[in-house]
Amino acid sequence: MRSAPPPPQTPRCDQTAVWQALQQHFQRNGQYFDVRQALRSDAGRFARMALQAPGIRADFSRNWLDEATCALHRI
């Protein structure tokens, strides 16, 4: 009986380029982000920041996210 190959080694998430980019984005923008203000000033926020799949809908509009953060997350 052959043994299964070892699982692929994946780097820790905090060791990736995406993590570093998210940290830099937070330091430049995120610490000053106000969700309440974003909701008040952007009528299209919910439509742009909601994802839908069969049987489920995810509303990211009330989270500390903006379009740049979503792009970094590839959401």
Residue 72 pLDDT: 84
Question: What's the mean per-residue pLDDT of the chain?
Answer: 88
Take residue 45 and report the two structure tokens written for it.
């926020």
pLDDT tens for residues 38-56?
Answer: 999 999 999 988 889 999 9
Residue 75 pLDDT: 55
Burial class (CB in 10 A: 0-12, 13-18, 19+), 69: buried
pLDDT tens for residues 12-21?
Answer: 999 999 899 9
**CA quadruple 61, 66, 70, 75: dihedral, nearest 10:** 20
Q: Tell me the domain boundaries of the chain.
A: 15-72
